[in-house]
Amino acid sequence: MSIRVSIDASGGDFGIPVTVSAGIESLGIYPDLSVIFVGDKNSINAEMEKLECSAELQSRINVVHASEVVYMDESPSSALKNKKDSSMRVAIDLVKNGDADACVSAGNTGALMAISRFVLKTIKGINRPAIMGRMPTTTGHIHMLDLGANIDSSPKSLVEFATLGSVAVQHTENIASPTIGLLNIGEEEMKGNENRKMTAELLKESSLNYVGFIEGDDIYMGTVDLVVCDGFEGNIALKASEGVATLMSHYLKKSFNKNFLTRIAALISYPVLKDFKSSLNPGLYNGASFLGLKGIVIKSHGGANTFSFLQAIKEAYLEAQVIITEKISESVSEKLLNQPNNQE
């Protein structure tokens, strides 16, 4: 089966130079992948000429012109109402019309969610889409949602997120029954606010593999396969993690550059440092999924470079390959709609 991914080529801080090079690189990795670059046609074609794309790769590339761009500081409502020919909107429309199996964008997160929800709609039984991404752990990585789409989520919404995430992890990671932890200020059942306690009770009553509350440090220990939280907390945890990675890199460089001997030590330690940097590189985990929509939309970090944006394309390819939207829809009808009366 051929996988078709539409790419919002003009989106993000760096736009076409990054998105086009990453898209072409992805074609070399996946022989059954084709990409659709959406944006200013002349600029995209000029970038492709600079990269000297082979004839075989060019046969798997389409370019769709879009005359507008959604800017990073633009309001979601403005992008939705006034930018109907934006590269972001057209890329999502291709998924809606069945011309693409997934969409990837590094553009404005709020606008991307608003347009995606308006164009694609949510799966029956899902009130709100959630953003799920990967985070590094001592054992590999975990998945976490919501990472910022929803603030002040109700217990019902948090159970929906758990259902969405569980299905996604099950099929993309090939884990039969992913373990789920609810982020809280402590592991004990008496801790947390009423919202968390009510959510925990609903999760216990569900058919999901819920193991209980987890704390922030458990995220990085890989205690569970999926961490569920409100978008406010999830986004803070994500940004704090990226900040810590940058902080560690800063102090390592500072320590190794103190004097001649420390610079010699750095040269000797280079293979170890290179592996260390690679393991904690936020770009390696780029590509957050908008789960709960009737279509696959992957959000790349706005400041992504070619390597980082490539990871988002890989996530889109994987989700399209396992037909994740259909899997979620099937699971929702079996699990979510048949759960005990959920509390708002």
Q: How many domains does the chain have?
A: 2
What tokens appear for 278 in the block?
């690679």
The pLDDT confidence band at residue 343, using thresholds 50, 70 and 90, is: very low
Domain assignment of residue 336, yes or no: no
Indicate whether 243 and 309 sit together in one domain.
Answer: no
Q: What one-character DSSP code corresponds to residue 282?
A: G
pLDDT value for 342? 45
Are 121 and 135 found together in one domain?
Answer: no
pLDDT at 336 over 80: no
Helix (H) or strand (E) holding 148: none
Considering the domain boundaries, does residue 304 fall inside one? yes
Q: Is 298 exposed, middle or buried (0-12, 13-18, 19+ CB in 10 A)?
A: buried
Q: Quick one: 136 and 47 in the same domain? A: no
Of 156, 219, 154, nearest to 183 by C-alpha is: 219
Q: Is residue 229 part of a domain?
A: yes
Tell me, what's the pLDDT at 4? 98
Residue 240 CB: number of other CB atoms within 10 A? Answer: 11
pLDDT in tens, 76-89: 999 999 999 999 99
Domain C-terminal end among 282, 302, 321: 282
Q: pLDDT tens digits, residue range 263-274?
A: 888 888 878 777
Helices (H) and strands (E) in the chain, counts: 14, 11
pLDDT band at 335 (very low <50, low <70, confident <90, very high): low
Asked if residues 36 and 100 have their Cβ atoms less than 8 Å apart, the reply is yes
Does residue 196 fall inside a structural domain? Answer: yes
Is 0.85 surpassed by the pTM of this model? Answer: yes
Same domain, 323 and 227: no
Q: Which domain holds residue 318?
A: 3-126+292-329
Whole-angstrom distance, CA of residue 76 vs CA of residue 105: 15
**Mean pLDDT, to the nearest integer, of 269-282?**
76
Q: Report if residue 335 sits inside a domain.
A: no
CA 228 to chain centre: 15
Give one word for 136, left, alpha or beta, with left for phi > 0 and alpha for psi -120 to 50: beta
- What pLDDT shows up at residue 256? 87
Residue 153 CA from chain centroid, whole number? 19
On whether both 135 and 248 belong to a single domain, the answer is yes
Average pLDDT over residues 217-243: 91
Residues 98, 158: one domain?
no
Q: Tell me, yes or no, whether 103 and 166 share the same domain.
A: no
Domain shared by 249 and 137, yes or no? yes
Q: Is residue 274 part of a domain?
A: yes
Least confident of 157-171, 175-189, 242-256, 310-324: 242-256
Q: Are residues 169 and 37 in the same domain?
A: no
Q: Which residue's structure tokens are 């959920």?
A: 342
* CA distances from residue 232 to 114, 130, 140 in whole angstroms, order as listed: 17, 12, 25
102: domain CATH number is 3.40.718.10
- Pairing state of beta strands 3-8 and 33-39? parallel
Name the nearest CA neighbour of 298 among 32, 170, 116, 31: 116
What is the share, in percent, of the chain residues with pLDDT greater than 90?
Answer: 70
Task: State the helix-helix crossing angle for 306-321 and 324-331, rounded to 10 degrees.
Answer: 50
Q: Could you read off the pLDDT of 287-308 as tens digits, one per residue?
A: 999 999 999 999 999 999 999 9
Please, are residues 291 and 297 in contact by the beta-carbon 8 Å criterion? no
